[in-house]
Amino acid sequence: MRPKGRRPLLDLKEIAARLDAEEKLKLTYRFPVRSADGQVDYETRCDRLLDVAEEANILYVSHQGEVIWVKLDEAIAVEPDDSK
């Protein structure tokens, strides 16, 4: 049973299969950023999904030309990437 208020995690095995089938996907996720006073806030981003590491629960995206990793618990949704 999952804790109340927690959303189910994404199925990385299914996502990996979709990527292996060369489906273009985008990931919406929360990204931690530090504010000027040193506190951590989150901004929501949506970037092209490149790969997943199932055992490590990590997703890799391309953000402004750089590859960054996203922890599974920061991932919000995976959708088809209709952009060119």
pLDDT at 35: 83
Amino acid code (one letter) for 76: I
Contact 47, 63 (CB under 8 A): yes
pLDDT at 6: 53
Domain boundaries, the chain: 12-80
- Structural tokens at position 64: 């402004």
Regarding pTM above 0.85, the answer is: no
Q: Over the stretch 4-55, which tens digit does the pLDDT of each residue have?
A: 455 557 999 999 999 999 999 999 999 999 888 889 899 999 999 999 999 9
pLDDT at 84: 63
Structurally, what CATH architecture does the domain formed by 12-80 represent?
Answer: Roll (2.30)
pLDDT at 2: 41
Query: Average pLDDT in the 54-60 region?
Result: 96
Burial class (CB in 10 A: 0-12, 13-18, 19+), 29: buried
